[in-house]
Amino acid sequence: MIHESQRLRALERQYTANVLAARSYEEALAVFAALWRHARRIRPDFPGDWREDVQADIEMARVLNGLQRTP
């Protein structure tokens, strides 16, 4: 287990500022999808396709934000 320290917090802040903030939404989504695939490879009983899991959340967000559904 990694114990949190001042040095670790500084490293995380630097990483966030220099690496994560520079990613586009599409890049971040690609990383997320790759991590999800990896999780399914190492644990086959891991939940199904993440796009299906978030579909209800997306629909709710559209309703709350007054957006029309895209075809």
CA distance 29 to 37: 12
> What is residue 71's predicted lDDT score, i.e. its pLDDT?
54
How many CB atoms within 10 Å of residue 50? 17
Residue 30, domain extent: 6-65
The DSSP letter of residue 23 is -
The DSSP letter of residue 18 is I
Of the two residues 68 and 52, the one the predictor is more confident about is: 52
If one counts the domains in the chain, the total is 1
Residue 23 falls within a domain, yes or no?
yes
Residue 1 falls within a domain, yes or no?
no
Residue 70 falls within a domain, yes or no?
no
Residue 71 falls within a domain, yes or no?
no
> What is residue 10's predicted lDDT score, i.e. its pLDDT?
93
Pinpoint the alpha helices (H) of 16-49: 25-42
> What is residue 17's predicted lDDT score, i.e. its pLDDT?
87
**If we measure between CA atoms, which residue out of 40, 34, 69 comes closest to residue 55?**
69
Query: pTM value?
Result: 0.47
Of the two residues 7 and 44, the one the predictor is more confident about is: 7
Confidence of residue 56 (pLDDT cuts 50, 70, 90): confident
Q: How far is CA 45 from the centre of its chain?
A: 20
Does 59 score more than 60 pLDDT?
yes
